[in-house]
């Protein structure tokens, strides 16, 4: 018999459960003998026979063996590798239910922060919940037995590959290029073992695509071979050398082997040059709507000095510069800032400047040097902003701050800190930048007061 210290459930045990709610990863949550159990792909109200697969101190994970009923929100997932690929978590939910679930998460965050429910606006839905992504990174491996290159996606938190030729989140033209890249690597023979990822990005404006082969070896003849890849609408072929096949995908540099040096995208009336290594929002249409919202939320006036921290290729910097006295964009990626400077010229924006730096270094210096700023825009990566950035924002004496976040957990942490330093939340606008996944984007307008 289990003693009082041992967990109430054990790996391999089977139970009949009902999911009571959904956690932020999209998993169903049930209670078994007083323990919280997370069950992927089980929706609230659904009952199932499950097997416990992992037991931690405070929770366990279980897998559905047989589902007894279907929730009203359940739909048939469209992708053949859904549940095996780690990319999508909620294809089994109707799109309207995905939206409601994401909006509710932002509402719960507002509640925990002690905010009035009226600050949260209804979530902005994607125009197309499938085939919306403008970029994809597909792992590749060489199959010794079949002597073919295989592509697919890694399962969540593992390097086990779900082999597939298609991703329903990208355009059909991108799917076609991925297929051709796999045939091409197969045609190279075992030398293709050096390829570990194929990255494809497509411009919404021109339809042109850039294809980057990520290789483990810096081999000139392999690079020459890769340069022979061609497919309809592919305007650029490049390589990046990243010796570790499991870890970061990109190497230190990207070498264009063939074609254009950049793609061109158009957003919010701007022409934007886009290098392979520079970040760009994955859904161009939603990016356009979100940028327009950020400019409105920042209430940019013509005497304002605006700081766009984590600016990427400078799209928001330029949109705000058009209404301000001066705009400064900062990003740590040199290629992105080169694009941003070129984009300022391309769009004849004369009052935008850019710096290659880490925001946590640049912003405190900017503020301590006594420079004026009226508006701050933060659009950090998933880990949120550094403590030094919060302190600098508090000292900067800005009236308006707009925080663009792709991770509600770090957003909540950072909002709590900003609120403790004299900012209040005026509005929260969620955007469904990543349909079929558990991710949600949110733009928060803060004011000093
Ligand atoms: C979510 S993206 C936003 C980019 C841009 N605002 C846009 O909409 O395209 C985050 C950006 O932050 C940059 N970045 C990440 N950490 C940084 C840091 N510590 N300092 C400066 N830039 C950073 C990345 O290079 C990336 O361009």
- 123: tokens are 């979530």
pLDDT at res. 122: 98
Asked if 57 and 22 sit in the same domain, the reply is yes
Question: What mean pLDDT is predicted for residues 186-192?
Answer: 90
Q: Would 176 be classed as within a structural domain?
A: yes
Report the share of the chain in percent with pLDDT over 90.
Answer: 89
Residue 221 pLDDT grade (very low, low, confident, very high; cuts 50, 70, 90): confident
Asked if 164 and 119 sit in the same domain, the reply is no
Asked if 261 and 151 sit in the same domain, the reply is yes
Query: Residue 348 pLDDT > 50, yes or no?
Result: yes
Q: What is the pLDDT of residues 276-312, one digit of tens each?
A: 999 999 999 999 999 999 999 999 999 999 999 999 9
| pTM over 0.80, yes/no | yes
Query: Residue 97 pLDDT > 90, yes or no?
Result: yes
- 271 C-beta closer than 6 A to ligand 1: no
Residue among 279, 281, 434 to mutate when testing ligand 1 (max atoms within 8 A of CB): 279
Which atom of ligand 1 sits closest to the CA of residue 386?
A: 19
- 107 C-beta closer than 6 A to ligand 1: no
Q: What is the CATH number of the domain that holds 331?
A: 3.40.50.150
Q: Would 74 be classed as within a structural domain?
A: no
Q: Would 274 be classed as within a structural domain?
A: no
Radius of gyration of the chain (CA): 24
Q: How far apart are CA 325 and CA 32, in angstroms?
A: 60
Asked if 309 and 441 sit in the same domain, the reply is yes
pLDDT at res. 248: 85
Reduced to 3 states (helix: H, G, I; strand: E, B; else coil), residue 39 is strand
pLDDT at res. 107: 98
- 381 C-beta closer than 6 A to ligand 1: yes
Q: How far apart are CA 298 and CA 149, in angstroms?
A: 49
End-of-domain residue from the set 27, 49, 67: 67
Which atom of ligand 1 sits closest to the CA of residue 361?
A: 20
Q: What is the pLDDT of residues 365-401, one digit of tens each?
A: 999 999 999 999 999 999 999 999 999 999 998 999 9
Q: Give the Å distances, CA to CA, from 68 to 17, 20, 22, 47.
A: 10, 15, 18, 5
Asked if 294 and 426 sit in the same domain, the reply is yes
pLDDT at res. 246: 75
Give strand pairing partners of 286.
none
pLDDT at res. 2: 47
Asked if 105 and 159 sit in the same domain, the reply is no
Residue 50 pLDDT grade (very low, low, confident, very high; cuts 50, 70, 90): very high
Domain count, the chain: 3
Cα(410) to ligand 1 centroid in Å equals: 15
pLDDT at res. 3: 54
Q: What is the CATH number of the domain that holds 228?
A: 2.40.50.1070
Q: Which domain holds residue 32?
A: 14-67
Q: Would 89 be classed as within a structural domain?
A: no
End-of-domain residue from the set 266, 299, 325: 266
Query: Residue 1 pLDDT > 50, yes or no?
Result: no
Asked if 305 and 236 sit in the same domain, the reply is no
| DSSP structure string for 274-341 | E-TTS---S-HHHHHHHHHHHHHHHT--TT-EEEEES-TTSHHHHHHHTTSSEEEEEES-HHHHHHHH
Strands 326-331, 35-39: pairing kind: unpaired
Residues belonging to the active site: 406
Q: Would 345 be classed as within a structural domain?
A: yes
Q: Would 229 be classed as within a structural domain?
A: yes
- 374 C-beta closer than 6 A to ligand 1: no
Asked if 442 and 412 sit in the same domain, the reply is yes
Asked if 123 and 141 sit in the same domain, the reply is no
Residue 169: CB atoms within 10 A of its CB come to: 25
Which of 354, 340, 361, 251 minimizes the C-alpha distance to 307? 354
Q: Would 91 be classed as within a structural domain?
A: no
Q: Would 192 be classed as within a structural domain?
A: yes
Query: Residue 144 pLDDT > 80, yes or no?
Result: yes
pLDDT at res. 427: 98
Asked if 140 and 249 sit in the same domain, the reply is yes
pLDDT at res. 156: 77
Question: What mean pLDDT is predicted for residues 255-261?
Answer: 93
Q: What is the ipTM of this complex?
A: 0.99
Q: Which residues contact 163 (CB under 8 A, 6 or more apart)?
A: 81, 150, 151, 152
Helix intervals (H) in 113-204: 172-188
């Amino acid at each position: 018999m289990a003693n009082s210290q041992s967990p109430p459930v054990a790996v391999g045990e089977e139970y009949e459960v009902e999911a009571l709610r959904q956690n932020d990863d999209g998993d169903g949550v049930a209670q078994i003998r007083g323990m919280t159990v997370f069950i992927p792909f089980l929706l609230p109200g659904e009952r199932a026979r499950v097997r416990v697969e992992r037991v931690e101190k405070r929770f366990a994970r279980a897998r559905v063996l047989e589902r007894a009923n279907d929730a009203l929100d359940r739909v048939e997932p469209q992708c053949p590798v859904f549940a095996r690929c780690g990319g999508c978590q909620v294809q089994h939910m109707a799109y309207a239910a995905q939206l409601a679930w994401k909006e509710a998460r932002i509402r719960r965050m507002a509640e925990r922060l002690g905010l009035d429910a009226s600050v949260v606006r209804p979530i902005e839905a994607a125009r197309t919940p499938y085939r919306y992504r403008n970029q994809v990174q597909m792992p590749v491996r060489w199959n010794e037995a079949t002597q073919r290159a295989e592509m697919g996606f890694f399962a969540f938190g593992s390097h086990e590959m779900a082999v597939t030729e298609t991703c329903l989140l990208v355009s059909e033209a991108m799917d076609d290029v991925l297929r051709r890249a796999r045939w091409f690597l197969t045609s190279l023979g075992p030398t293709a073992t050096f390829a570990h990822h194929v990255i494809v990005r497509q411009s919404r404006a021109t339809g042109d695509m850039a294809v980057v082969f990520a290789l483990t070896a810096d081999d000139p003849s392999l690079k020459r071979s890769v340069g022979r890849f061609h497919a309809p609408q592919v305007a650029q072929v490049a390589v990046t050398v990243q010796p570790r096949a499991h870890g970061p995908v990109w190497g230190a540099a990207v070498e264009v082997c063939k074609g254009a040096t950049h793609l061109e995208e158009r957003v919010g009336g701007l022409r934007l040059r886009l290098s392979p290594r520079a970040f760009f929002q994955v859904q161009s249409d939603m990016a356009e709507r979100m940028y327009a919202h950020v400019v409105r939320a920042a209430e940019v006036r013509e005497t304002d000095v605006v700081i766009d921290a984590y600016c990427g290729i400078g799209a928001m910097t330029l949109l705000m510069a058009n209404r301000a006295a001066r705009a400064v964009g900062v990003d740590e990626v040199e290629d992105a800032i080169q694009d941003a400077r070129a984009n300022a010229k391309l769009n004849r924006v004369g009052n935008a400047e850019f710096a290659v730096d880490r925001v946590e270094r640049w912003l405190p210096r900017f503020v301590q040097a006594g420079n004026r700023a009226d508006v701050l825009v933060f659009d950090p990566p998933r880990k949120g902003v550094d403590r030094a950035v919060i302190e600098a924002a508090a000292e900067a004496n800005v009236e308006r701050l707009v925080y663009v976040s792709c991770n509600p957990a770090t957003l909540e942490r950072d909002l709590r800190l900003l609120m403790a330093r004299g900012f209040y939340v005026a509005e929260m606008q969620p955007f469904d930048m990543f349909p079929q996944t558990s991710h949600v984007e949110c733009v928060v307008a803060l004011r000093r007061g």
